Amino acid sequence: MSLAEKIFKCFKEKEKFTLTEAYIQNADKPKETVRARIYENLGIKFERIAKGIYKTLDRGQEVCIVMEGDGRDLSMLKDKSIDCILTDHPWLDMKSNKGGTRAFAQYDCFKYTLKDFQEKARVLKDGCFLVEILPAENENNYEYLYQIKQYAKEAGFVYYAKVAWKKGTFVSNTGRKAKNTQDVMFFSKGKARNMRIDKKKTDATGHISYMSGCNGMLPTMFDVQPVAKKDRIHQSELPLSLCEQILQYVTYEGEVVLDSFAGSGVVGEAALIQKRNCILIEILRDNIEKIKNRLRKNVMFQPLLE
C-alpha cells in the first residue's frame, strides 16, 4: 500500500483531518514526505478545505461509457467536460497502412479537417492533453501530418511533444525503408497544466512546486510489442501497455478520458485499470459488442459499463 493510500484509508471515515494528524499517524515517515503525498493527490484522493485542513475524496468506481456513433460528432459532450483525448483515427493513408499492423476492411478512412480539432478543443479542459496516434512520416503522408499540426494550432492547441512508438520486434518492409514505428503526438489545449513536480524548486523551498507539463518527463520512445494478429479484436488495435503508459503521463486518477474512435476498446480498459473514467465512441455495432465483452472479461469491469 502506498503512503497516499495509507493516509486516505486512515481518514476516509472522518469529516476532515489536519496535517498534524497525518504526521502523527505516519510518524515513521518524514513530515515533508507525508505532506508531499497529500499535495500530489489534491483533487484525486484529497481536497484542501482550509489552511492545513483536508478531507478525503471518495470517487467510487470508475465508469466506462460506450456510445454508438460517429467519433467526429462530439455534439453530445459538454464544453470543457473532458480531461484527456487519446485516440487513433482511421487515417486515410493506404501506403502507411499496407504491410503494417493496420488494415481497414470495414471502416471508411478519412482525413481530419479544422472542424475536427475545433470540436476536440471545445470539449477538452484548458491545459489538458490531446494525444493522437499517427503514422510515421513518409513520402505519402508528410503533407497531411503537417496539416494536422496546423489544424491543431488554429484550434488553440499547443504542440507539446512527439514520441515514437517502436513496435517491439515487429518489422515490415513495404517501400523505401523498414517500418516498425508510429508516432504518439501530444498537444495541450493552450499552455499545458502543471502536472510535473519541480524538484529543484521543491528542494529549495521545502514546499511542493509544480511546473508546466505532463506528469513526468516523456520517454524518448515507447518500446511496446504490438498486439499479435491472432489476439486482435480490431484491425488496428493498440497495445494495452502503451495506452496505460500514455494515460499515466497525461491524466490523474478519477479524470475523464475520451477515445472518439474506440475500435477495440483498449483505451477504456487501460483507463479503468488506471482508475480513470472513460467515454468510448465507436461507429460499428459489431465492435461495440466486442468492446463490451472485452470489459466484461474481468469481474472488476462488469458494473462499469453503461
Q: What is the DSSP string of 28-79?
A: TS-HHHHHHHHHHTBTTTEEEEETTEEEE----S--EEEEES-TT--TTSPT
- How far, in Å, CA of 214 to CA of 194, rounded? 7
> What is the Cα–Cα distance from 124 to 85, expressed in whole angstroms?
7
Q: Which long-range contacts (CB under 8 A, 24 or more apart) does 42-47 make?
A: 43/252, 43/254, 44/252, 44/253, 44/254, 45/4, 45/5, 45/7, 45/8, 45/253, 46/7, 46/8
Q: Answer yes or no: is pLDDT of 306 > 50.
A: no
pLDDT digits (tens, 9 = 90+) for 218-229: 999 999 999 988
pLDDT value for 197 = 80
Question: How far apart, in whole angstroms, are the C-alpha atoms of residue 249 and residue 228?
Answer: 25
The answer to whether 197 and 210 have CB atoms below 8 angstroms apart is yes
Cβ within 8 Å of residue 213, ≥6 positions away: 160, 192, 194, 195, 196
Place of cell 521543491: 202
Is the alpha carbon torsion for 83, 88, 92, 95 positive or negative? positive
In this predicted model, which residue has the larger pLDDT, 73 or 211? 73
In angstroms, the CA 196 to CA 183 distance is 23
Whether 298 has a pLDDT exceeding 80, the answer reads: no
Greatest C-alpha distance within the chain: 65
Percent of the chain surpassing pLDDT 70: 88
What is the rounded average pLDDT of the residues 138-163?
A: 96
Section 239-261 average pLDDT: 95
Residue 235: pLDDT band (50, 70, 90) is: confident
Report how far residue 298's alpha carbon sits from residue 306's, in angstroms, rounded to the nearest whole number: 16
Distance of CA 174 to the CA centre of its chain: 31
Number of residues in the chain: 306
Report the range of poorest mean pLDDT among 64-73, 151-160, 176-185: 176-185
pLDDT for res 305: 39
* Residue 237 near residue 266, CB atoms below 8 Å: yes
Q: What pLDDT is stored for residue 176 in this prediction?
A: 65
pLDDT at 46: 83
Query: Tens digit of pLDDT for each residue in 20-55?
Result: 999 999 999 999 999 988 887 776 778 888 888 998
Q: Hey, what's the cell of 206?
A: 521545502
CB count in 10 Å sphere of residue 88: 25
Q: Name the grid cell of 246.
A: 500514455
- Return d(Cα 256, Cα 214) in angstroms, integer: 16
Q: Mean pLDDT throughout 252-260?
A: 93
Q: What is the dihedral of CA 225, 228, 274, 244, to 10 degrees?
A: 30
pLDDT score at 304: 37
With a CB cutoff of 8 Å and minimum separation 6, the contacts of 252 are 43, 44, 83, 195, 215
